[in-house]
Amino acid sequence: MAHGAPGRGLRRGSPFVLGFLAGLLYFTGTLYWITRVMAVYGGLPFWLAALLNAGLIIYLSVFPALFAMIVRRLISVRGPEAVLAAPFIWVATELARGYLTGFPWAVLGHSQISALPIAQLASIGGVYSLSWLTTGMSAAVVFAATVSRRRFAPLALAFLVIVAAAAWGSRRVAAGELTRLGDPIKVGLVQGNVDQAIKWDPRSADAIFQDYILKTRQAIFEGAELVIWPESSTPFMFEEDPVGAAQLRTLVRQARVSLIFGSDQIEPGSPRKYYNSAFLLRPDGSVGGVYRKIRLVPFGEYVPYQRLLFFAAPLTEQVGSFTPGERAEMLPVDGHRVSVAICYEVIYPSLVRRFVSAGSELLTTITNDAWFGDTSAPAQHFEQAAMRSVEEGRYLVRAANTGISGIVDPYGRVLSQTPIFQPAVVVGEARMLTTTTFFARHGDMVTPISVIVTVALLLWPRRRHTVESGMRNEEWGNTK
């Protein structure tokens, strides 16, 4: 078939189909756990939960399919060299995925958090710069394998870039300048390990609360100056339960510590509004500030397109329908400003950067990952949170109901980490930092550049008489 012939775009074996299949494999492997969340905790029949999850996976898979289709289109009109534009196109479609779905989970660049020298690039270009680099190396390998002339030049250049990045990153981590700046603070993290099935059972409420009090006293005994409880950790609404609130106030007054904890909040009115919030109690027992979660979890805290997806109503009946907060509220701790990302808010680089721009000197994140069960999701969540510490040049401390809780330094090194589904108390040192990274000061430049390059290549293609140029046609799926 000639290039650009009608019907080529969606044929079996076409770039769109192959990209779509790759997306199905990737997102099924990373998001399989959503079925369990909706079935076990959302009150949906398993078959319906699986169907909804499959719909989400199919939707997300469209973006890798578009990436493959755009790359193939550019190759057909610009020649095999166009494959080297793949990193720009990948980042553009990955950005579109996060923007259009509101769910930028498992961005490709997060895969590099365990390669700390390479991960340091995020302090300059954010996580999407790592997506760009990862795709660029792959594109260089493909180019070398399929083009006959100057095939190894891009691969050699990509290799040199990676070596240079790794060398710079290694020196940055080894120097560890940020670990000597700022004021130190002893942070205590309480991991209650409360089963979601009994979390809101009134018969278990007092035992859950007293266990948190006991673990908090342990953290204070070990020197904690700031204690952090997980998301929705109080088995009551703090502002609606004067007895429980009084116990918390007494606790912090006696120990002279600050306490950050998650608790739902009601705003009176018609209709009443519900917020997933984080409260700060000062050492004198007063409320120092309240942060209301801005990014809500679709199908967890609200059902998008609820009228259309009426059959998913049991989800909101189980978890309620929350209202998003509006302000990146800072919580004052001993003269410093601290931010809180609640649950999956921490996967949004732009939101965490917004916290740092507002003056956050310490990143905290509180979550309840009990929903995920014994799956890969808690580890995915923790690693994505760790990437924010590299991007912003901040210590990150994380309290999770069932784990993983831990402390991460500004270079992405995990200083302490708990196992999942075990009660735990972690006390460790963090630092209040004001120095900012290039990324924190200037924001994400990789994604707008990638979008501009992608659009420019599509709008102003340079047509060729042939695209062979020594390329093996069969590698690109062409037929004569």
Can you tell me the distance from the alpha carbon of 253 to that of 30, in angstroms, rounded to the nearest whole number?
Answer: 44
* Radius of gyration from C-alpha coordinates of the chain: 25
Q: Which of 94, 225, 231, 361 is catalytic?
A: 231
∠ at Cα 253 (252, 256), nearest 5°?
75
Can you tell me the distance from the alpha carbon of 143 to that of 124, in angstroms, rounded to the nearest whole number?
Answer: 27
Strands across the sheet containing 226-228: 287-292, 273-281, 258-267, 226-228, 183-191, 424-432
Q: Classify residue 215 by its DSSP letter.
A: H
Q: Which of 94, 215, 225, 293 is catalytic?
A: 293
Please check whether residue 96 is in contact with residue 64, taking contact to mean a CB–CB distance below 8 angstroms: no
Side-chain half-sphere of 102: how many Cα atoms within 13 Å? Answer: 9
Can you tell me the distance from the alpha carbon of 276 to that of 87, in angstroms, rounded to the nearest whole number?
Answer: 37
Q: 273 catalytic, yes or no?
A: no
Q: 231 catalytic, yes or no?
A: yes
Joined together, the tokens standing for residue 416 give: 């302490």
Please check whether residue 256 is in contact with residue 283, taking contact to mean a CB–CB distance below 8 angstroms: yes
∠ at Cα 399 (393, 402), nearest 5°?
135
Q: What is the DSSP string of 62-107?
A: HHHHHHHHHHHHHHHHH-GGGGGGHHHHHHHHHHHHHHHHS--TT-
Joined together, the tokens standing for residue 404 give: 């993983």
Q: Which residue reads 């940020």 in tokens?
A: 178
Q: Which of 343, 361, 383, 391 is catalytic?
A: 343
Spell out the residues 6+ positions from residue 345 whose beta carbon is closer than 8 angstroms to its own: 293, 294, 295, 351, 352, 365
For residue 117, the Cα-to-chain-centroid distance in whole angstroms is 20
Q: 225 catalytic, yes or no?
A: no
Can you tell me the distance from the alpha carbon of 272 to that of 264, in angstroms, rounded to the nearest whole number?
Answer: 13
Please check whether residue 458 is in contact with residue 78, taking contact to mean a CB–CB distance below 8 angstroms: no
Cα–Cα nearest to 83, from 8, 26, 180, 158: 158
Residues acting as catalytic residues: 231, 293, 343
